[in-house]
């Protein structure tokens, strides 16, 4: 359920960004070259990177708090038991 909501928010943000691009006046750069960027592609790349970073953060915190290793000699359990 959360995945569907996050996906919907992601799509709405991309759509809002594209809508805003339609109403903004293009401006030229200070050196005389026209700006040549694909804002939609930039937004997609940034949001994919944000999702990857958040997933990595979530998984690292999850496995630091509750390691799923059952062996008491495993390094995760040693550091957890010694209070590091």
Give the tens place of pLDDT for each residue, 19-70: 766 666 666 556 655 566 788 888 899 999 999 999 999 999 888 887 677 7
For the record, the structure tokens of 52 come out as 């990857």
44-82 per-residue burial string, b: 16 or more CB within 10 A, e: under 16:
eeeeeeeeeeeeeeeeeeeeeeeeeeeeeeeeeeeeeee
Global pTM? 0.44
Sequence-distant (≥ 6) Cβ neighbours of residue 48 within 8 angstroms = none
pLDDT of amino acid 16? 74
Give the tens place of pLDDT for each residue, 14-26: 777 777 666 666 6
3-state secondary structure of 19: helix
Higher pLDDT, 84 or 68: 68
pLDDT of amino acid 63? 81
Closest-CA residue to 3 (of 41, 54, 45, 39):
54
């Amino acid at each position: 359920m959360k995945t569907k909501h996050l996906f919907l928010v992601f799509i709405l943000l991309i759509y809002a960004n594209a809508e805003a691009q339609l109403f903004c006046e293009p401006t030229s750069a200070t050196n005389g070259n026209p700006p040549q960027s694909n804002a939609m592609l930039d937004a997609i790349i940034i949001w994919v990177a944000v999702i990857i970073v958040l997933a990595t953060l979530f998984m690292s915190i999850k496995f630091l708090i509750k390691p799923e290793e059952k062996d008491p000699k495993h390094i995760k359990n040693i550091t957890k038991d010694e209070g590091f």
